[in-house]
């Protein structure tokens, strides 16, 4: 079952008392299924949201499913009871072999959202409130640290939920606030049905961070975009050894309209200053270049990037033809954003290390 993206205007027309809310975590959506085979042995399997079986990559998590059930949840990496970033989770995804060392370094965790079946009983036609109560009881019986339930977000009015969504660390998410993408809003009486029924489940993501960056490199896209330069590397200003310089901080290939794609492609072709195989370097000087407004979901420290920072889900939200590159943001802006998030997380964790 999938959710519709929500805006505040969608929710204020609804009765808040008819809904429950839970945190939306920054992992991958999965279904964990355990049942008895023809030999009477309990067999557990894990599936992605597209139906692909990914059991072989997560044997440590399957070992936690010691009761017959079907659980809808989020696959995460947990270290010392803390949810890790999606970038950490990626170290476990699509691995051809899983070693004991890998499992110890990147321990898999299932944060449960919903219950589809328990034993031989299909419970999808029951209300969400009922399914959640049974899910909590099931997890208690499993009694395994690798499986827990996504906590509810307390609210009585949409204004209270808006405040919680804006500041998860102060609304119960605590030290894991950085791993929260937003909230899921679900009707108490909703059955679990296929597809994306409107009004039953809503996903309300946190507002993205936004900066102005300068286009530095472009590469042709794939499929329908193979004739256009649609993959963009962008940077922000920083003080270098020889003065002000642009430092790459991310790549994006969506967020713009088809009309904007044509304009950017034309700019790339007319302003190429160098080529590196399929990549074109475009002019990016203080008085000449293209400024992109970039929206993104979060930041984290990274030793793989020259900037020392990695973005989560960057996308082009606007073309700033009106803005000279010299007025784009600086690396210090991103560092301040990240530091503020780290301090908020530290405060929510009682002042401990982040």
- According to the model, what pLDDT value does residue 350 have? 56
- Could you tell me the two tokens for 77? 């990496």
Q: How high is the mean pLDDT of the chain?
A: 89
* pLDDT of amino acid 346: 56
Structural domain boundaries in the chain: 4-205, 209-339
Out of 24, 156, 239, 287, which one is annotated catalytic? 24
Q: Which CATH number fits domain 209-339: 2.40.50.140, 3.40.605.10, 3.40.50.300, 2.60.40.2140?
A: 2.40.50.140
3-state SS, residue 113:
strand
Which DSSP string corresponds to 230-252?
EEEEEEEEEEETTEEEEEEEEEE
- pLDDT, position 351: 54
State the residue for tokens 């399914």.
131
For residue 211, list its beta bridge partners.
294
- Beta-strand relationship, 272-276 and 279-282: antiparallel
Question: Which residues of the chain have a pLDDT value below 50?
Answer: 348, 352-354
- Stated length of the chain: 354
Strands (E), the chain: 4-5, 19-25, 28-36, 42-48, 69-79, 82-83, 108-118, 121-122, 147-149, 180-187, 201-205, 209-220, 229-240, 243-252, 272-276, 279-282, 291-296, 298-301, 309-312, 315-320
Per-residue pLDDT, 171: 87
pLDDT tens sequence across 69-108: 999 999 999 998 899 877 788 788 877 788 999 999 999 9
pLDDT of residue 354: 42
pLDDT of residue 198: 78
Partners of 280 in the β-ladder: 218, 275
CATH number attached to the domain at 4-205: 3.30.470.30
Q: 151: which strand partners?
A: none
Residue 24 appears among annotated catalytic residues:
yes
Do 209-339 and 4-205 fall under one CATH topology? no
């Amino acid at each position: 079952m999938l959710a519709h993206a929500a805006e505040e205007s969608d929710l204020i027309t609804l009765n808040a008392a008819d809904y429950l809310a839970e945190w939306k975590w920054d992992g991958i959506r999965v279904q964990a299924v355990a049942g008895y085979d023809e030999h009477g042995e309990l067999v557990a399997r894990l599936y992605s949201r597209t139906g692909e079986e990914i059991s072989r990559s997560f044997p440590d998590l399957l070992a936690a499913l010691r009761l017959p059930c079907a659980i809808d949840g989020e696959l995460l990496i947990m270290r010392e009871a803390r949810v890790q970033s999606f970038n950490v989770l990626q170290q476990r995804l699509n691995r051809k072999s899983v070693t004991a060392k890998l499992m110890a370094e990147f321990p898999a965790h299932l944060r449960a959202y919903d219950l589809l079946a328990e034993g031989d009983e299909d419970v999808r036609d029951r209300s969400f409130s009922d399914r959640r109560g049974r899910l909590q009881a099931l997890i208690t019986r499993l009694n395994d640290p690798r499986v827990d339930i996504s906590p509810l977000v307390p609210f009585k009015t949409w204004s209270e939920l808006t405040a919680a969504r804006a500041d998860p660390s102060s609304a119960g998410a605590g030290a894991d606030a950085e791993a929260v993408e937003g909230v899921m809003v679900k009707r108490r009486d909703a059955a679990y049905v296929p597809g994306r029924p409107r009004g039953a489940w809503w996903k309300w993501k946190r507002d993205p961070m936004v900066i102005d960056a300068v286009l530095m490199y472009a590469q042709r896209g794939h499929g329908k975009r193979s004739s256009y330069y649609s993959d963009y590397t962008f940077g922000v200003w920083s003080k270098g050894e020889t003065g002000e310089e642009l430092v790459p901080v991310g790549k994006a290939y969506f967020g713009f309209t088809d009309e904007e794609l044509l304009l950017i492609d034309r700019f790339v072709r007319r302003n190429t200053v160098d080529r590196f195989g399929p990549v074109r370097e475009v002019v990016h000087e203080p008085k000449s270049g293209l400024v992109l407004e970039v929206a993104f979901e979060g930041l984290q420290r990274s030793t793989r990037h020259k900037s020392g920072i990695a973005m989560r889900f960057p996308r082009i939200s606007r073309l700033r033809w009106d803005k000279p590159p010299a007025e784009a943001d600086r690396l210090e802006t991103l560092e301040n954003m990240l530091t503020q998030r780290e301090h908020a997380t530290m405060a929510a964790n009682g002042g401990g290390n982040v």
